Structure 1
Amino acid sequence: MALFNFRKRETTTPSNGAMEAFLQGYSIEVMPRTASKVESFRDLLPEGTRVYIAHIEGTPIEEMVATAKRLNDEGYPVMPHFPARIIKDAATLENWIAMYQGEADVKQALLLAGGVSQPHGDFHSSMQLMETGLFDKAGFTRLHVAGHPEGNRDIDVNGGDAAVMEAARWKQSFSERTDAQMAMATQFAFEAQPIIDWVNRLNAEGIMLPVHIGIAGPAKLQTLIKFAIACGVGPSLKVLQKRAMDVSKLLLPYEPTDVLQDLAAYKAANPDFGIEQVHFFPLGGIKTNAQWAIDNGGDATKPANA
């Protein structure tokens, strides 16, 4: 297996082909309020792009379902968030699933704890959602779970790194007994090496869930730093902090070129590396992110795993 030193730029810049291959089948995230400002997603996203719908606390389920229906009608596979801590009980979960399926033909879901500290009801983790058996009962074809290359504040505070890895092992085990395809969609990070080390560690621990790596799309530096701190991004935040200290770059928008080039180079040299796809968080706007993806070779007309 080839080895790369990802701290030296000259060894990590891949050919255009490597970047294009790495971006194939990328997914992207929207919220109902941002989706409502897009006249037509067909003007932005290539056919077949998987679109996650983020469910922020306080967003009515009716708005989530309406957004899912609209995207489905425009021809995009939809993957809404199911945040465990804002779902009151199993009856509520079953109702949400029925609404999504009945009105928007949803067959995919991202299951996560959710960004609230105190549960609204019976659930506090994505594992509890899976244990209900309701997604398998409803015939969901794909379930994604959250991954955290730089740790998870919610889990770390209680059990440290061992608890994070134990949760990942549980999800691996569940993937072997569900009919749905599973993958791990991650929090965004700004540096390749911690991501590479984390994915390789998962595989060494026998956790073979494909990784859909979270990447922050182009945005103003101040915007990214704000979101990164709020979302608990770890040591790779220093990439942004270092950039903020350079007056010549302070006002220039951040672009994820460096981290994606490094990951694309590693993937090209190590085809079995566990990253399956790129998942964009369009923190600087979905139009900006979609155009950047097109300009850098992203073409989601043939998703790797629809």
Structure 2
Amino acid sequence: MNDANRAALAAALARPAWQATRYELLPIAGMQEAAGALPEGAVVTVTCSPRHGLERTLEATEWLAGAGFRVVPHLAARLVRDRAHLERLLGRLAVVGVDDAFVVGGDAERPVGAYPHGRALLEAMAGLTQRPARLGVPAYPEGHHRIGAADLQHDLEAKAALADYAVTQLCFEARPLQAWRERQRRLGLSLPVHAGIPGVMEPRRLLAIALRLGLGPSVRSLRRRSGWVARLLRPADYRPEALVEELRPALGDLAGGFVGLHVYTFNRVEPTRRWLEGLQDRVPIRASADEPDAQAATPAGEPLA
């Protein structure tokens, strides 16, 4: 991690934890309207799918950057053809002032070119002058349906030398996140980590997403808790307040906790933002690295890795 990244992280920790929240958007119909509900200057990540491809992600990135947001496009390695294609992609990002990207393998069945996984793309970007100042990578506290635990760990450790931060897959419970983060701390992972949580959404849609993604302990917990599932089927929106409350002690702890929240909004931005802003008043969170109770820290999903 270079001095510029350390300075950026220090600045992030000096702000209220809620200001470090990242909002993930899908580049589909209605995205621009959803973006209208974001806080001014928010950090917005833009996903990339085999169906819509990198071009859709880049077009959305350019629009969001023009609207004044700090944009983090997802770059899916399996959709990048070769070095020339990669240089063109990075050139477009540089033109609109984007200096942060999230590198994933991607869900495409077969790579279209020379980069079968995220690590290969990171290695290629390391030698380019147009490499963004910050690169993020995915982490999987609840495992991945196509990749074994040992391979996931090895991959994350290899990426740590090439990236600047990690973002966890969508999780519905704090326990898997906390256990994974403690294990990574013991193993010496130096990357700052953003905790991936769901936004506010319709309960039935949330349950469908959870079951489709197969999110390990979280989904097993949903199946065990018949009362919880019954609440999911009520008309009122789901809000992950219990999850955030359990994560509260670890938020803002760069060394062994989570530098901030990464909210998977599925483009339901307006209710998610209202909930987060209301939660700030109800759930106290360590706000600044300069406050007496803040722990000192020294920097040391989604698609396939």
Give the TM-score range, shorter chain.
0.7 to 0.9
Greater relative CO, 1 or 2 (CA 8 Å, sep 6+)? 1
- C-alpha distance in 2, partners of 1:284/1:131? 32
Q: Which of 158, 172, 176 does residue 190 from structure 1 map onto?
A: 172
The 1:96/1:197 distance shift into structure 2, 3 A limit, reads: same
**1:6-17 counterparts in 2 under 5 A?**
none
Q: How well do the aligned residues superpose, as a CA RMSD in angstroms? A: 2.7
**After superposition, what is the alpha-carbon deviation per residue over 1:242-298, rounded to whole angstroms, capped at 9, x for unaligned?**
357654552132211011100003448x77433101000013712222222222129
The CA deviation at 1:31 is 2.0
Q: Which of 189, 203, 217 does residue 207 from structure 1 map onto?
A: 189
Given that 1:218 and 1:289 are in contact with CA atoms closer than 8 Å, whether structure 2 keeps it comes out as yes
Indicate the residue corresponding to 2:242 in structure 1. 258
Matched, 1:69 2:62: yes
**Which stretch shows the higher mean deviation, 218-227 or 230-239?**
230-239
- C-alpha distance in 2, partners of 1:246/1:185? 27
Indicate the residue corresponding to 1:142 in structure 2. 134
The 1:127/1:150 distance shift into structure 2, 3 A limit, reads: same
Secondary structure of 1:154's aligned partner = coil
Q: How many residues align?
A: 268
- C-alpha distance in 1, partners of 2:129/2:183? 33
The CA deviation at 1:81 is 0.3
Q: Which of 47, 51, 57 does residue 44 from structure 2 map onto?
A: 51
Indicate the residue corresponding to 1:28 in structure 2. 23
1:38 partner letter: E
The 1:248/1:72 distance shift into structure 2, 3 A limit, reads: closer
Indicate the residue corresponding to 1:16 in structure 2. none
The 1:228/1:120 distance shift into structure 2, 3 A limit, reads: farther
Secondary structure of 1:185's aligned partner = strand
The CA deviation at 1:62 is 3.9
1:253 partner letter: D
Indicate the residue corresponding to 1:3 in structure 2. none
Q: Which runs of 5+ in 2 are unaligned?
A: 1-14, 282-286, 290-305
Indicate the residue corresponding to 2:7 in structure 1. none
Indicate the residue corresponding to 2:101 in structure 1. 109
Q: Which runs of 5+ in 1 are unaligned?
A: 1-19, 176-181
Indicate the residue corresponding to 1:162 in structure 2. 150
Given that 2:48 and 2:76 are in contact with CA atoms closer than 8 Å, whether structure 1 keeps it comes out as yes
The CA deviation at 1:127 is 0.5
- C-alpha distance in 2, partners of 1:164/1:246? 30
Secondary structure of 1:264's aligned partner = helix
The CA deviation at 1:200 is 0.9
The 1:247/1:206 distance shift into structure 2, 3 A limit, reads: closer
Q: Which of 82, 85, 98 does residue 75 from structure 2 map onto?
A: 82
**Structure 2 length-normalised TM:** 0.78
1:198 partner letter: W
Matched, 1:92 2:85: yes
1:24 partner letter: Q
**Which stretch shows the higher mean deviation, 203-212 or 285-294?**
285-294
The 1:152/1:138 distance shift into structure 2, 3 A limit, reads: same
Given that 1:143 and 1:183 are in contact with CA atoms closer than 8 Å, whether structure 2 keeps it comes out as yes
Given that 1:86 and 1:121 are in contact with CA atoms closer than 8 Å, whether structure 2 keeps it comes out as yes
Q: Which of 282, 292, 296 does residue 265 from structure 2 map onto?
A: 282
- C-alpha distance in 2, partners of 1:142/1:187? 19
Given that 1:48 and 1:75 are in contact with CA atoms closer than 8 Å, whether structure 2 keeps it comes out as yes
The percent identity for this pair of structures is 25
